[in-house]
Amino acid sequence: MNNYRIGLIGLGGMAHSHMRWMEEEGRYTIVAISDVNEAALTERGEQLGIPAGKRYRDFERLIADSDVDAVVSVTPNNVHAAIVRACLLAGMPFLAEKPFTRLFEEAAELLTLYEQRPVNGMVGFSYRYTPAFRYARELVREGKLGAVRSFSIQYLQSWGAVPNHTPYIWRFNKDITGTGTLGDLGSHMIDMARFLFGEFKELSAQMRTLVPERPVPATGRMVKIEVDDFVSFQARMEGDEVGIFQSSRNAIGSGNQHEVSIYGDTGTLHASTLNPDQLIWIREEAPGQLVKAVIDVPERCKVSQYGDFLTLLDGAASDSLPSFMDGYRNQQIMDAVIRSSTEKRTIRL
């Protein structure tokens, strides 16, 4: 079995998780790194034992490095499209963080290129690898809930809430991030709905900025916020399931709370990142007798994101991997959410 030599681009907060996941999985060696921040390059370079010649300020040079077999990209959103574009041009396999791009126009340009030069790519929709969500998908597909009629998905965090006095970081800068909670957390909800139920047919949405201005850390100067920190939408899926979605980073008391409830003719499932190895399943055990059970997720549903990336790199098939096209469709649906909220109307997809 091959061991893959990885070029890691972006060495900030989320890169720590990627480094740990690669180490846990084995079969990955980070051989080159890239960041525009010299201090991060030096610190991470020393930590990983990367020679000075393989520490790049310019990600294009890392992608051109013949010692790199695949790229892992963990930069802010405004760099995502440029990195994926460079990978497509170089024929370089990649795992790129979500959201797929900052703007839908960028995703559309990438699709044109991808159709000419397809490359194995994976997008970091990591909740496909939460065991409870995978088991829920299996139970739905096996018809264990009967026909699914409706569902709800929420993704709540609290770090942007007023008592936290969160300053003006790149996640609030529209030029860098594109959208606020929509791209950050909503992209995961959209991917979860597609993972469970297939394509969206239509949706209507509202986006709100709950904290209108935030201080620049160094100066304390207040900056107007142009991205959402709350988004909600309702949607109809290809099988006519109707769903409601909400996401906020201002939900005080929420840690990292991504939750799905699925309502079928013969039962209900609740799955949550707060309890990732169990599901709540309410079903009729005998006529008229409803039972609520907490079910352990079977081992077969414990697949890791980096295990699936190996599947892709090895050239084998995976029915669950978030692909280039999943990234593109996700961005298309986010664009529909923005248009619906701005134009105050239902958007058909």
Ligand X SMILES: NC(=O)c1ccc[n+]([C@@H]2O[C@H](COP(=O)([O-])OP(=O)(O)OC[C@H]3O[C@@H](n4cnc5c(N)ncnc54)[C@H](O)[C@@H]3O)[C@@H](O)[C@H]2O)c1
Query: Can you give the binding site for ligand X, defined by CB under 6 A?
Result: 9-15, 34-37, 40, 59, 74-77, 79, 97-98, 124, 126, 184
The residue with its CB nearest to ligand X is 12
CA distances from 38 to 33, 116, 174, 182, 228 (A): 11, 35, 25, 31, 31
Give CA–CA dist 348/235, Å, rounded.
Answer: 10
Give the residue with the Cβ less far from ligand X, 33 or 205.
33
Shortest distance, position 69 Cβ to ligand X, whole Å = 19
Closest CA to 296 of 278, 281, 282, 280: 278
Nearer to ligand X by Cβ, of 139 and 182: the residue is 182
CB of 188 to ligand X, least distance (A): 7
Toward ligand X, which CB reaches closer, 74 or 88? 74
Q: At residue 157, what are phi and psi to the nearest 5 degrees?
A: -135, 170
User: Residue 126 CB, nearest distance to ligand X (Å)?
Assistant: 4
Which residues, in sequence order, are CB contacts of 27 under 8 Å at separation 6+? 1, 2, 3, 4, 310
Q: Shortest distance, CB of residue 74 to ligand X, whole angstroms?
A: 5
Annotate 278-294 with DSSP letters as a single string: EEEEEEEEETTEEEEEE
Q: What is the nearest approach in angstroms of ligand X to the Cβ of residue 34?
A: 5
19, 210, 211, 216 from 166: Cα distances, Å: 27, 13, 10, 10
End-to-end CA distance of the chain: 42
Closer Cβ to ligand X, 157 or 204, answer by number: 157
